[in-house]
Amino acid sequence: MARTVAAFKVDHFQFLDPDGKLIDEQKSPSLARDFDRLIELYRRMVLTRVFDKKAVALQRTGKLGTYASCLGHEAAHVAIGSAMQPEDCFAPMYREYGVQFCRGVKMTDVLLYWGGDERGSNYAGAPHDFAWSVPIATQCLHAAGAALAYKLRGEKRVAVSVVGDGGSSKGDFLEAINAGSAWKLPLILVIVNNQWAISVPRSKQNSAATLAQKGIAGGLPSIQVDGNDLIACLWAMEKAIAAARDGHGSFVIEMMTYRISDHTTADDARRYRPNDEVEEAWRKEPIARLRSYLTDQGAWDEEREQALLEDCARKVQKAADDYIDTVTNDPQPVTAMFDYMFAELPHDLAEQRACAERFPEDGGHH
């Protein structure tokens, strides 16, 4: 005779529809009426998008290396960064600029990193955060390690990491879930589900109804939110972080969004992605949605929008100028690639560094 030993569900939360209308005003969080805060968050989202466009332009003109765009992810990323406290820890992958700007990372730091300058990872504005992680999902274990340290020390701090839909299939992500569950760590794992793992669509990655349920399999409370709804993303992050900080363990949040851009500037998504799917994503994108809501509520107008765009353009151009000035007038030696990983270099890397020292600074060869 069979009996049910456990049953689970994954709840989906959305407060703003794609047209910027509140779905149910009575059930919306107080944030929906905090227009001062929403405007501040909207400004951060717009700044992130203006920066992103400039970074792509720098790469296209040969002034930046391969760059990973965050176009379409602005609500998810700004919500994550805004929900965290300065003493918390963020372990990014490689496109969470909106989180990092909220955390104090400078735009020039991001450009230096993608320009191949090691100083870009030494950001003073977010002293507790990890540098970018290009190996897929390894950052989840970094965050789990930080969370374990906080628990052992009795510190009321939280570690947060982000992984994509593709990265959620990696063992590192599942191991981080297991660690968070077994040790009840103050850890928040966010799956920013942008529907594409480079050229592999979500439909071919996993047949499960949600990716959030991977957290449930590991014993963690897990939900799904509309990742283009800033209000839903921030509401979910604040609740999860507050609970984790109070000792209630780890959480998984799946944020449903779309990667409107190419995977990186080395990719051409037109080769594998239908145009009508991208056009539909533009209809649901997060910045227009929040702008429509604020405008309908009388909290925003076209004059303020133009002033914001001009201000963002000035700030981004200043960051780009500072980046170009640094790499032109104060370039790092080639040996810098060895100098920021180990306190003491392993012998094989020490030998490689000694070899690199013999190369002339103009990049010529002996």
Q: In this predicted model, what pLDDT tens digit does every residue of 71-125 receive, in sequence order?
A: 999 999 999 999 999 999 999 999 999 999 999 999 999 999 999 999 999 988 9
* Residues contacting residue 99 through CB under 8 Å, at least 6 positions apart: 77, 78, 80, 81, 90, 92, 162
Q: Where are the alpha helices (DSSP H) in the chain?
A: 35-60, 74-83, 97-103, 107-114, 138-153, 171-183, 202-205, 213-217, 230-245, 275-284, 286-296, 302-329, 347-356
Confidence of residue 364 (pLDDT cuts 50, 70, 90): very low
Q: DSSP assignment, residue 131?
A: P
Establish whether 272 is a catalytic residue: yes
Active-site entry in 49, 73, 95, 263: 263
Question: What are the tokens at 40?
Answer: 């501040």
Question: What are the tokens at 215?
Answer: 């957290």
The fold adopted by the segment(s) 12-331 is Rossmann fold (3.40.50)
Confidence of residue 365 (pLDDT cuts 50, 70, 90): very low
Active-site entry in 272, 283, 314, 340: 272
Average pLDDT of the chain to the nearest whole number = 96
| Residue 340: predicted pLDDT | 85
Q: Where are the alpha helices (DSSP H) in 184-301?
A: 202-205, 213-217, 230-245, 275-284, 286-296
Q: What is the mean pLDDT of residues 54-68?
A: 97
- pLDDT, tens digit (0-9, with 9 covering 90-100), for 122-180: 988 999 999 999 999 999 999 999 999 999 999 999 999 999 999 999 999 999 999 99
- pLDDT, tens digit (0-9, with 9 covering 90-100), for 205-257: 999 999 999 999 999 999 999 999 999 999 999 999 999 999 999 999 999 99
d(CA 13, CA 345): 48
Chain centre to alpha carbon of residue 10: 23
| Residue 360: predicted pLDDT | 66
Percentage of residues of the chain with pLDDT beyond 70:
98
Pairing of strands 222-226, 200-201: unpaired
| Residue 361: predicted pLDDT | 61
Q: What dihedral do alpha carbons 215, 217, 220, 224 form, nearest 10°?
A: 40
Give residue limits of the domains in the chain.
12-331, 333-366
